Chain A
Amino acid sequence: MMKKITAIALTVFMVTGLLLTGCGGSGGSGDGGGGKTVKLGFLSPITGANAAEGAAARNAFKLAIDQANESGDFDYTIEVIEIDDKSDPSTGVAGAQKIVSDPDVVAATGHWNSGVAEATIPVFKEAEIPMLIWGAIASDLTSKDNYPWITRSAPTDVQENVPLAKAVLDDMGYKKIFIISDTTSYGAGNSKAFKAELESRGMKEVGFEEVQEGTVDFHAILTKVKSSGADCVYWGGVVTEGSLLKNQMYEDKVDALFCGISGNYSEDFLKISPEASEGALVVKPGIVLESTDAGKKFIEDYEAAGFSEPIGAYTPYAYTAAEILLQALKECGDDVTPEKMRDAIKDGSFDGIMGTTTFDDIGQTELVAAYLNVVQDGKWTVYDDSEYADGTRTFPGK
């Protein structure tokens, strides 16, 4: 008897659950524009471990779409099918299937998690619906195989090396770079990318060492760094080993700049003493929103809309993805098809809050918005606001 009741109760819950998700999915449908609608899919983790980023991204995306619907620029209503992928590949695939089975869908944008993106990419490719990745950063998601259906408006982890190289090599003028990275694919990808940056400037690193993940003792390498005469150490790994390396550079009195990409931007880096962490230079993707008018307007609009989730690191990227899709829709004119959207996205040039986005020959964005951060008195500080930028303090190796 109890079993029967449980079974019935479960069924009721499941049906209600389905109905609720159904309602959520069709949310945002409007009645303007002569009744014609065009649908866009949006996938992000709205519940689960990454809910904060995912829900904020969803908010930003819908904010952009609502603004577009209100603007009257479109002769149809744009509707969003929003999917909660729960950071789970199989849930993501089910959601992707729901999106591609709707005949009104012309494009989709999705994913915070690279693993989920990997799982849904085949669904979109097979259904021939263009999918623009807004937040997953594993570098192999955009590829020759996936092009042109899959494009990405977020920079990959490897791409962050471009603005870092520009700052360190061009603006600050460091000449003798010693590259240290770990042997993971992340570390190898970074050292390769940074070496390419050096080569493009006709330079060559003065030394290159790879360490295993979990290495704690860098003193031996640092003797090499010293004897190579390097003025800058590029660290291609993450904070775990990065902070130890920086600490030992301080202990061994290595007179060289420490720089790395966003894997080092963490409070964990500050666990070494303030004297040891001082002057570490790390690049972080995104823009300082407050620094541009468009960014400020985005913050105002987002806050005015009264969302419960605050703006996260990747929220502006979701907004950018919406800006790209909207401009692509405009280019397609009145008769929007997935094929037209695909071509409009891959060939287009899109102005947005992060800058102008264009895509390369595998559909990866060429816009790498990023800004520098430096440790000053034991705290991460935006480089432009730091005493290093105004010349009060100088980096080592200068």
Chain B
Amino acid sequence: MGRFGNLLLSAILCGCTYTLVAIGYCLFFGVLDVVVFCCGDIAIFGAFSIIGAFTIIWSAGIFQAVPAIVAVLILLVVASILCAALGLITYRVSVKPFEKSSALMPLLSTIALGVVIKEVLGLIFQPVVNNIAKGVVRVDDPKTVVGGRNPQSMPQLIAAGGSTLTRNLIIIIVVALILLALFFFLNKTKLGLSMQAISQNKELALMTGVNVKSCIRWTFIIGGVLLAIGGFLLGNYQTILRFDGGTMYGTKGFAAAVVGGLKSTWGAVIGGMLLGFVEVFTAGLIPGGTKFQNVIAFIVVIIFIVFKPEGIIGEKVAEKV
């Protein structure tokens, strides 16, 4: 593969990681009209829960007994449950109490929650996981995770032992499958259609018999699962993760969502890819361009906000005066 091919692959991968977070923003914004700012931190939490679950389940000797694909599925289920729970907690703690107040309140409270998630990961992840792993140890070679305020290495679960290219292609394919599943879910299932209905007009949806409350809860569960998978893919792509990595990741995801037009999942995909392509090609083609890659990426975002505030795929909202 030539230089351009490598850049293209990097750009798509970079875009994939942003896309999944951006979709999280879109789902939450769609049903609630508020920005849940801790999406990046939830994704990192997902990745860390996979590192933790891997350590514990390995120490219990379960992984050695099952095929790799089963192991990965077990980990994904664990991380999904934890992230869905965290999604529900996010809703209960930092969104629902501010339902009646201005949209700025949940924005601020979810930023605060993101800081809490990040610091808790930094402080208690390592002792908690290591103590549980010590408790269940049944193998000769138990694993432990190292000091929490450091990067953690992600176990290589996708194409373990295979080439990096295979791994990267699998990541892209999985993201594409997730997008297809999401598209199917939003357009073909009752829950998905209800979510869209709420997104378009909450009062009308309520009147036509949509259970808005349960629908919102489901959105946070599905968003949590999606972010868990996002964290899993991100971790496998980067191979080592920092507990405070969610901030930048979340900001980029948010920017992608805004460029795409906050309410549209396809917009999020396009926004994520656009951001990924701008970043990677700035760094890869302009000599000395790397130090400007974030600057240029965010300039693109600002240009979109100025000239196309409704996003690439977004409807113009006419406010009645």
Contact = CB atoms under 8 A, between A and B. Distances in A.
Nearest to A243: B240
Given A219-B6, A226-B3, A252-B164, A211 B290 contact: yes
Interface string A338-352: 000000000000000
Given A252-B6, A272-B240, A210 B288 contact: yes
Interface string A237-259: 00010011001000110000000
B291 A211 contact: yes
Contacts of B150: 268, 271
A211 B153 CA distance: 22
Nearest to A216: B238
How many chain A residues sit at the interface, stated as a range, is: 20 to 34
Nearest to A217: B14
B296 to A, nearest CB: 12
A312 B13 CA distance: 44
A227 B4 CA distance: 11
B66 to A, nearest CB: 22
A209 B151 contact: no
B152 A271 contact: yes
B258 interface: no
B146 A271 contact: yes
A90 interface: no
A181 B241 CA distance: 20
A273 B239 contact: yes
B239 A247 contact: yes
A243 B283 contact: no
B284 A220 contact: yes
Residue from the set A180, A223, A251, A271 with the largest chain B CB neighbour count within 10 Å: A223
B209 interface: no
Nearest to A247: B239
Contacts of B240: 243-244, 247, 271-272
A221 B288 CA distance: 9
B151 A240 contact: yes
Contacts of A276: 239
Interface in A273-318: 273, 276
Contacts of A247: 239-240
Contacts of A209: 283, 288-291
Interface in A332-373: none
B280 interface: yes
B151 A243 contact: yes
A104 B102 CA distance: 69
A341 to B, nearest CB: 43
A171 to B, nearest CB: 30
B98 to A, nearest CB: 30
A227 to B, nearest CB: 5
A174 interface: no
Given A220-B280, A226-B3, A227-B3, A272 B153 contact: yes
Closest 9 CB pairs of A and B: A220-B283, A220-B284, A219-B10, A210-B291, A251-B164, A271-B153, A209-B290, A220-B280, A223-B6
Interface of B: 3, 6-7, 10-11, 13-14, 146, 150-153, 156, 164, 238-240, 242, 245, 248, 279-284, 287-291, 293-294
23 contacts: A207-B287, A209-B290, A210-B290, A211-B291, A214-B248, A217-B14, A220-B7, A220-B290, A220-B293, A221-B283, A223-B10, A223-B284, A224-B287, A240-B151, A243-B151, A244-B239, A247-B239, A251-B164, A252-B6, A271-B146, A271-B153, A272-B239, A272-B240
Given A215-B290, A221-B283, 12 more contacts: A217-B238, A217-B280, A220-B279, A220-B290, A220-B293, A221-B290, A227-B3, A240-B242, A243-B240, A244-B240, A268-B150, A276-B239
Interface of A: 180, 183, 207-212, 214-217, 219-221, 223-224, 226-227, 240, 243-244, 247, 251-252, 267-268, 271-273, 276
